[in-house]
Amino acid sequence: MKIGFIGLGIMGKPMVKNLLKAGCDVVAYSRTKADVDAVVAYGATSAETAAEVAAASDVIITMLPNGPDVAEVVMGEVGILSTAKDGTILVDMSSIAPAVAQEIHTACATKGVKMLDAPVSGGEPKAIDGTLSIMVGGDEAVFKQVYEILLHMGASAVYCGDIGAGNITKLANNIIVALNIAAVGEAIALSNKAGVDPNRVFAAIKGGLAGSNVMNAKLPMIIDENFTPGFKLDLHVKDLLNAVDAAKEVNAQIPFTNKILEVMQSLQVRGYGQNDHSVISKHYTL
């Protein structure tokens, strides 16, 4: 089975490398030639366009910044649907608006292409380790067809419901992550102002109820003010904007999400958008 992979950014490159480590045959495309060269060095085959990837692939994985990028790669003039064979499976692992995933799914169906939305959580470290959490929407039978492929990139792949359900689950995930980072940043601001070593605070509380994967991953970065991006603030803002739109569509009340979104957008204005989302903590010190 030939796997196509489109999108070789912070997440995409290590995901391709893990597919190759598992013995998969991968053809890859990205607009940035250096990123393609990086995975070709590990054994991937290169392609010049998304259409070329689709023509050569049975399963196509996309990992792109946002919905418009996915729509262009799938439905554009030299996109996936211009050459994909009937029965091809498209697994979009980008984090996009659920409504956009549904629109792309409809376009795929007219061409005989089966689509899943399968965004991930875990950031660059878990993409490198191959331990991402993958949340999937679409036809459950199609999910079962690609389940083993997904487990080459993730520690878990969970079926969440119809198309779009994967991205609803990812939005829920990113609401929790953003608010958790904000809580960690606020707690450390208090510790610093009170003269208590934040490293000792971390050691004392991480095994208790306040402990979390977010705290373990982000609190050391906050203490060191190391905001090298594993997941950029700009991308998290994009996800929360999608969450706000999705909430409006179903009349869900998400007031804390709206508040942290305002904080994150203010940090974007200050020039922190390309930093890791743990930079939310800067809100308490600026």
The set of catalytic residues is: 170
Q: What are phi and psi of 160, to 5 degrees?
A: -110, -15
| Whole-Å CA distances, 142 to 5, 118, 223, 250 | 18, 12, 44, 27
Counted residue by residue, the chain has a size of 286
SS3 of 205, please? helix
By the 8 A CB rule, do 167 and 137 touch?
yes
What is the spatial distance between Cα 101 and Cα 116, in angstroms, rounded to a whole number?
9
Cβ count near 94 (within 10 Å): 26
For 115, residues 6+ apart whose C-beta sits below 8 A from its C-beta are 89, 90, 91, 92, 101, 104, 105, 108, 109, 138, 163
By the 8 A CB rule, do 132 and 155 touch?
yes
By the 8 A CB rule, do 3 and 29 touch?
no
**DSSP string covering 66-102, please?**
SHHHHHHHHHSTTSGGGTPPTT-EEEE-S---HHHHH
Q: What are phi and psi of 38, to 5 degrees?
A: -65, -40
By the 8 A CB rule, do 74 and 81 touch?
yes
